[in-house]
Amino acid sequence: MKQLALLILGCVCGAASAADSYTIGSDLDPRVRATDYMAENRRFLAASTALIQIQKESPQSTLPTEYYQRLADDTLNFGMQKRAEMIYREEAANGKDPLVLGRARLRRAEFLYERNFLPEATAELTALRSQIPAQLMVNWQDQMSRVLMAQDRYADAVQVLTKPDTASDQPGYMRYNLGIALLKSDHVDEGINVLDRVGTRKPTDSEGLALKDKANLVLGYYWLKRQQGGSAIPILDRIRQTGPFSNRALLGLGWAYLSVQGDKQKRSQVADDTSGPASGQFSSIGALLRPGFLDSDIYKRAGLKPFQLASSDPTQEAALKKALVPWVELVGRDPIDPAVQEGLLAIPYVLDKLGAHVEAQQYYEKAITALEQTRVNLDQAILSIRYGRMVDTIISRNGDADSGWTWKLKDLPDAPETFYLQTLIADHPFQEALKSFRDIRLLIRDTDAERQRILDLQAAYDVRTKQPVSQKELQQRIGTLSSDANLGYQPDIKPQLQMAQMLVAAPYEDKAKEAAEAPAPPIKLQLPSNAPSKFDGPYEQLNALKIRLDALSPKLKVAEDAGAKTLQKIALNDLDAQRKLNEKYLVEARFAIARIYDRASHGVAP
């Protein structure tokens, strides 16, 4: 039993010794491990600050490579790109791991792209091309192609995305980008084929489903704009009934039934795209036109009472009824979507074509009521944004997090000032302006808290130094100091008696008395040559820090006001565009009713 205890004690001591022996700034440094925990929780400002503190506490130490890699990553993640760039370039000059360095530079290029610094991102990726490891080539292609497409350089993006050595490893979204770049660079047949293959894949996650729907929507509207409704219908049928692109797909499908059908399109094959899985038809828009569903009373589902259709061409009537099916589904959805608003006008348009003029007039009036309510809501949202409530409402959601550049706004609070801003969430300008504003708010909060802490410390110091000291407390302090200095003083003995015991005996009493009564000569202090010109203790350091914070606060306030105005400008521009579209639909609806009245008064058929 004794031997077992000794063995356990030895193991514990050995583990403690191993834990205590670490290189400053290495992976075993407990302070570095604490910053890793902060970074994992997306507290990048706190992590980078703690890493800088390690460097300040050990100015003479040579810190390892992984320390600087962490510092650069956390600094960039919080959005301080220039400071991170300096660290990355130092690593490149020192010849560090090319894989680690390549990932770091790709992340910096992504940061520049999202902040809309497109020439700088292009230069960074171009310089990286000859040094990128093979494992990161697909990532480089993805970033370079997106940067080029953002500058309308579609032909260059095609060259980047069609390299034969990496084409088979490209994920779906890169194939989608290739299809768009081919269409924009006049390689129409190849672009159509690539998008068609992306739109017929069997995705395994929500992002894959959204990408599939987006490819089909782009391709369907491509044919619709060219009056090729017969080609657009089967493509739009693939899109889900419920998804981010379903409303526009429902709207386009209705117009596709009323469009010229056109000839069946030929397929074209891209050299590096020879196979692709077929797509299932689960919950797709095409299921709305399943057998037996269209034969039921579509007018009743549209909320119309029984009415008598005027004589019309059976073929035209069948097409109009088919167009009603997706539109009836569409108008029951959120009226803030412009596609839904257009659907409100499309249904009475069809009814008017079918000869149901009274029902068309009633539906136009219903559409006008809904559009006018939307206009009122838009006006309220615009007013709320101008008063500044929109920014405060959005920032209040997780506003204290210091996740910096990696934070993304995924949804908006249910409030009047944000109700019509759903389309802004995916836009880089709005997201990046919002990130910058959040960071400024975070810095203001931290500087205010630090200033208050300094004031509290200074107040506590002033209380201790300016408070009168009683005789008893002074006696205790003298006794404590005397004991600490080994001068032979005792706290419970009077100072006069202590001093008397230390004086020399009677032969020197008179001389001692004369020396005590004589004025003391001035004391001259000989300061060392390297002595500071002024005292710089903790109190003085706190005061200097407070002065710096006081100078920083007005600058942060100016930056906060500028950021709020930028966000307001972006939001107001978006809402203004929605309001103009709303006004356009209102004018069209009122003119349509006027035409119906005019025809009825003159007895003219439509």
Which pLDDT score, from 0 to 100, does residue 561 have?
A: 87
pLDDT, greater one: 80 or 168: 80
Model pTM score: 0.70
Residue 544: pLDDT over 70: yes
**Confidence bin at 12 (pLDDT 50/70/90):** very low
Confidence class of residue 39 from pLDDT cuts 50, 70 and 90?
confident
At residue 6, the pLDDT reads: 46
Per-residue pLDDT at 248: 93
Residue 138 tokens read as 């697909």
CA 364 to chain centroid, in Å, comes to 41
Label residue 306 by pLDDT band (50, 70, 90). Answer: low
- Distances in whole angstroms, Cα of residue 586 to Cα of each of 71, 364, 462: 56, 10, 70
What's the rounded mean pLDDT across residues 330-354?
Answer: 88
- Does residue 429 or residue 178 have the better pLDDT? 178
- For residue 565 the two structure tokens come to 């105005």
Q: Is the pLDDT of residue 606 over 70?
A: no
> Of the given ranges (123-132, 138-147, 158-167, 404-413), which has the lowest mean pLDDT?
404-413
Pick the residue with more confidence: 83 or 444? Answer: 444
The pLDDT confidence band at residue 155, using thresholds 50, 70 and 90, is: very high
Average pLDDT over residues 255-261: 81
Max Cα–Cα distance, the chain, nearest Å: 145
Tell me which amino acid residue 495 is. Answer: P
Q: Averaged over 552-570, what is the pLDDT?
A: 87
Mean pLDDT of the chain: 75
Cα 35 to Cα 27: distance, rounded to the nearest angstrom:
10
User: Comparing 180-184, 413-417, 486-490, 570-574, which segment has the lowest mean pLDDT?
Assistant: 486-490
pLDDT digits (tens, 9 = 90+) for 240-257: 988 889 999 999 999 998
The CA-atom distances, in angstroms, between 377 and each of 20, 154, 323, 480, 500 are 64, 40, 30, 76, 93
Percent of the chain with pLDDT over 90: 17
| DSSP annotation of 284 | B
Per-residue pLDDT at 505: 44
Judging by beta carbons within 10 Å of its beta carbon (0-12, 13-18, 19+), is residue 370 exposed, middle or buried?
middle
Residues 6+ away with beta carbon under 8 Å from 175: 194, 197, 198, 273
Phi then psi for residue 394, to 5 deg, are -70, -45
pLDDT at residue 414 above 70? no
CB 592 within 8 A of CB 349: yes
Quick check: 222 pLDDT over 90?
Answer: yes
Per-residue model confidence (pLDDT) at position 488: 41
Backbone angle region of 116, left / alpha / beta, with phi > 0 → left and psi within -120 to 50 → alpha: left
Is residue 149 within 8 Å of residue 183, measured between CB atoms?
Answer: no
Quick: pLDDT tens for 565-604: 888 888 888 888 888 999 999 999 999 899 888 877 766 5
Q: In this model, does residue 366 exceed pLDDT 60?
A: yes
What value does the mean pLDDT take over residues 314-322?
Answer: 79
pLDDT digits (tens, 9 = 90+) for 441-471: 878 888 888 888 888 887 887 777 666 656 6
Most confident of 217-231, 293-307, 396-410, 450-464: 217-231
pLDDT of residue 365: 92
Whole-number pLDDT of residue 274: 40
d(CA 78, CA 84): 10
Mean pLDDT of 247-273: 69
Beta-ladder partners of 284? 240
CA angle 403, 29, 21 (to 5 degrees): 175
- Tell me: pLDDT of 406 over 80: no
Specify the higher pLDDT residue, 397 or 210: 210
- Above 80 in pLDDT, residue 280? no
pLDDT band, very low/low/confident/very high, at 423 (cuts 50, 70, 90): low
